[in-house]
Amino acid sequence: MSVLAWLKGKLSSAEPGKQLLPITQSELRIWMKDRGVVLVDIREPEEHRRFALPGSLSMPLSRYPEKLPSKKSAEKIVFYCQSGMRTRMNAARLAASTDLPSFMLVAGLRGWSD
């Protein structure tokens, strides 16, 4: 199966109209003080073990569920990866996995410092 055919299959199964809105690192730092944000790291487990945002869930794309479990206290969800590329490439699929307002960390973890 070609990469193009695989991508078409993934995107066609996503809910139409849902999208991930961009959020910057400075905006996310403010949001992280609020308990209503859920952070989802879509990188592989080894990458997550090396460095991850505090309190983030490790949900690698290779094992990503069709629907995320709901979290009663959650108001919004932010997906991230290392550079933002994996998040952008899978935006429709990720957005369709939740009913919450969904965001993606622009440029991913690149340049993040505590």
| 3-class secondary structure, 105 | strand
Say which residue, 101 or 65, is predicted with more confidence: 101
Which residues form the domain of 77? 3-105
**pLDDT for the residue numbered 103:** 96
**pLDDT for the residue numbered 72:** 74
CA distance 79 to 53: 11
pLDDT > 90 fraction of the chain, expressed in percent and rounded: 59
In a domain, 47, yes or no: yes
Give 100's Cβ-side CA count (13 Å radius).
23
| Structural domains in the chain (count) | 1
- The pLDDT tens digits of the residues spanning 32-81 come to 998 889 999 999 999 999 999 999 999 999 888 777 767 777 899 999 99
Residue 72 tokens, joined? 């009663």
Q: Domain with 26 in it: what CATH number?
A: 3.40.250.10
